Homo-oligomer: A and B are copies of this chain.
Amino acid sequence: MKLLIVNPNTTAGMTDKIGDAARSVAAPGTDILAVNPDSGPVSIEGHYDEAYCVPGLLEEMARGKAAGVDAAIVACFDDPGLGACRELMDVPVLGICEAAMYAAAMTAGSFSVVTTLKRATPIIGALALRYGMERHCRSIRAAEVPVLALEEPGSDAADKVKAEVRRALEEDGAEAVLLGCAGMADLARRFTEEVGAPVIDGVAAAVKLAEGLVGLGLKTSKAGSFAAPRAKPYAGRYAAMAPGAPAAARAAE
């Protein structure tokens, strides 16, 4: 199966790390396509960044659709544009926050999230509510490291994250901890050993759950929330992305 993973920011190094994390857990027959848009924010830290990452994310999704991918993943822990991707795609599309939360729900009585900046915590809290996980989620902690600090060699970002992971387990009573940023995808396995409790990376979780949904033969339901976009013109610079537009049709074939 072909599994598209879109890092919705434009930092190629982070896309590589995400691709590596995905490949390290992918089943033998799973072909990982890890990509990022050309246009948009270099990191996603808040609603405004999210807004400007989504068009590029959708264009990568359309390309993946044209290439016949079997499932797709949005590899940012804010799960930006997830509903729009599901409307566009017929195959399953997973957010890494969503995947991590449900993976935790199936293996632990409760969980906490450790993310980058405090400003992300209400966004993740709103996702927990939407996914039905507000009671499972004990706390959302910020390590106060910017996303791109996780990419800098020699930074103490990983240590700060681990310190919050420990606090979540010890002070908040979490039984598992989710790493709340795609840029932490390389840390989960090591932390799991070091802290003695499940530490879950959303990228890996999404890869395995996506493989599972594809294996089940499940598609995204078109019976309501995620019905295909209605055909209509888009004005100006987005004309080519209009549902039913020749260019969109071309891209998606």
Known contacts A132-B133, A175-B225, A189-B217: does B235 contact A42 (CB below 8 Å)? yes
Most buried by B among A47, A81, A209: A47
How many positions in chain A have a CB within 8 Å of any CB in the partner chain? 98
One of B99, B131, B222, B238 near A52 (C-beta < 8 A): B238
Asked if residues B40 and A236 are in contact (CB atoms below 8 Å), the reply is: yes
Asked if residues B197 and A223 are in contact (CB atoms below 8 Å), the reply is: yes
| Residues of chain B lying within 8 A (CB to CB) of residue A175 | 221, 223-226
Interchain Cβ contacts under 8 Å between A and B, 16 examples: A25-B215, A37-B236, A39-B237, A40-B236, A48-B84, A51-B58, A52-B234, A56-B236, A106-B213, A107-B221, A108-B224, A109-B224, A109-B225, A196-B223, A208-B216, A211-B212
Asked if residues A227 and B102 are in contact (CB atoms below 8 Å), the reply is: no
Copies assembled: 6
A46 in the interface (beta carbon within 8 A): yes
Report A22-59 CB contacts with B as 1/0, cut-off 8 Å: 00010100000000011111110111111110111010
Asked if residues B41 and A232 are in contact (CB atoms below 8 Å), the reply is: yes
Give the Cβ gap from A21 to chain B, nearest Cβ, in Å: 11
- In the complex, which residue of chain B has the Cβ closest to the Cβ of A197? B223
A246 in the interface (beta carbon within 8 A): no
